[in-house]
Structure 1
Amino acid sequence: MTESRPPFPPFTHETAIQKVQAAEDAWNTRDPERVSLAYTVDSQWRNRDVHVVGRAEIVAFLTQKWQRELDYVLRKSLWDFHDNRIAVRFQYECRDAGGQWFRSYGNELWEFSPDGLMARREASINDRRIDETQRRYFGPRPESERGAEIVLW
């Protein structure tokens, strides 16, 4: 059985938005196994200064990430797309074990295989300490906010 994950490239504006929202929804589950299924078995990532290759490493990476980044919640928005590539902006909030909250900002470049699985992901991320009162995100995005841009700062 061949794995696939619609929508498939080449992307339209509508299908690129669907792909971005599906990624946001999956990451907000904080389930490394579920998230890994959206990637090719040999997917390559650059996440900050870490290089990850393949689903097993993706699962290990995400497991460690979500053990450190507690109450993680993510927002993504489409920046651009072309053929089998999508660029996104994102923000996520989380706290560490000591209770310090962070908002992380970044950009991702995605490249997809013809079957709709992500073969390459490059993420550039910056972190900012925030006070708990500065939080914007409290769980998965409500239906009424889907497709909305995320604020810059």
Structure 2
Amino acid sequence: MAVSTQVSLVPPFTRESATAKVRRAEDGWNTRDPETVSLAYTVDSRWRNRSEFVNGREAIVAFLTRKWSRELEYRLIKELWAFDGARIAVRFAYECHDAQGQWWRSYGNENWEFDEQGLMKARYACINDLAITEAERLFHWPIGRRPDDHPELSDLGL
């Protein structure tokens, strides 16, 4: 699904703009570039990620740098769950492996809130991890943006 440049990605969201916002976030995270990803958040953005609390862009960059130094070959799919006004709820799954070669699929839900410029000011993530074998992997595209023709979470039965 290519994101149209004609869709306004600021609140209040429509189904089309919320879906585009989710894909834009997925694309950003799949770059695994903490500095670039941090620019989608307000300078004072507040996060809860699992049991960790992250506040502000500098802390987001530090968090993502740590995350992607241990979550190797990271690939993520996000899917719109619900939206209203300036809020979007998503479900997601990502696959990666650790330094020992153990593959993981992590499942979760995120609740997002945006400011008037479309920057995320709050992110609350709940995540569960499942050890998988390499043969159980479902996300095989080259590192980077998920191809438009790759199945989404619902298509994969996740």
TM-score, length basis structure 2 = 0.89
Partners of 2:112 and 2:123 within 8 A in 1: yes
Structure 2 residue 10 is the aligned partner of structure 1 residue 8: yes
Of 130, 133, 138, the residue aligned with 2:132 is 130
- In structure 1, what is the equivalent of residue 4 of structure 2? none
Distance 1:66 1:148, change over 3 A: closer
Which stretch has the larger CA shift, 141-150 or 24-33? Answer: 141-150
CA RMSD of aligned residues (A): 1.4
Give the fraction of aligned pairs with identical amino acids, expressed as a percent.
59
Runs of at least 5 residues in structure 1 that lack an aligned partner in the other structure: 1-5
* Whole-Å separation in 2 of the counterparts to 1:24 and 1:126: 18
SS in 1 for 2:21: helix
Which stretch has the larger CA shift, 130-139 or 81-90? Answer: 130-139
Partners of 1:21 and 1:146 within 8 A in 2: no
Distance 1:96 1:81, change over 3 A: same
Give the number of equivalent residue pairs.
Answer: 148
- In structure 1, what is the equivalent of residue 60 of structure 2? 58
Runs of at least 5 residues in structure 2 that lack an aligned partner in the other structure: 1-7
Structure 2 residue 143 is the aligned partner of structure 1 residue 141: no
* Whole-Å separation in 1 of the counterparts to 2:87 and 2:157: 23
TM-score, length basis structure 1 = 0.92
* Whole-Å separation in 2 of the counterparts to 1:150 and 1:31: 27
| Residue pairs, 1:1-153, within 5 angstroms | 7-139=9-141, 140-145=145-150, 149=154, 151-153=156-158
* Whole-Å separation in 2 of the counterparts to 1:147 and 1:70: 21
C-alpha displacement of 1:141? 1.8
Which stretch has the larger CA shift, 134-143 or 110-119? Answer: 134-143
